[in-house]
């Protein structure tokens, strides 16, 4: 995919890349994708690929947030049990 100065997409597998990224890296990547889509510099095909990658990243980020929330709840619950 072309870059058009926005470093939008690589030619690699977006799903595999998303799985390997840290949460913070995924959020930064999402921000770049949104910027590129908003500025309208991408072709239709590149826009579709960017949108698809963004969906994958956002789903993975939401899953990671859900997992973190569950972990915090478990830790808080364990702390309350030890206080009793």
In degrees and rounded to multiples of 5, residue 13 shows phi and psi of -75, 115
* Percent of the chain topping pLDDT 70: 74
Whole-model pTM: value is 0.71
pLDDT at position 40 is 95
User: What is the spatial distance between Cα 55 and Cα 5, in angstroms, rounded to a whole number?
Assistant: 22
The burial class, CB within 10 Å (0-12 / 13-18 / 19+), for 33 is buried
| Residue ranges of domains in the chain, CATH in brackets | 14-83 (1.10.287.1040)
pLDDT at position 5 is 47
């Amino acid at each position: 995919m072309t870059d058009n100065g926005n470093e939008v997409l690589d030619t690699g597998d977006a799903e595999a890349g998303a799985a390997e990224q840290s949460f913070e890296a995924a959020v930064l990547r999402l921000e770049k994708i949104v910027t590129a889509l908003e500025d309208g510099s991408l072709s239709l095909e590149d826009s579709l690929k960017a949108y698809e990658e963004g969906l994958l990243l956002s789903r993975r980020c939401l899953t990671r947030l859900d997992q973190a929330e569950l972990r915090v709840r478990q830790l808080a619950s364990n702390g309350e049990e030890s206080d009793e």
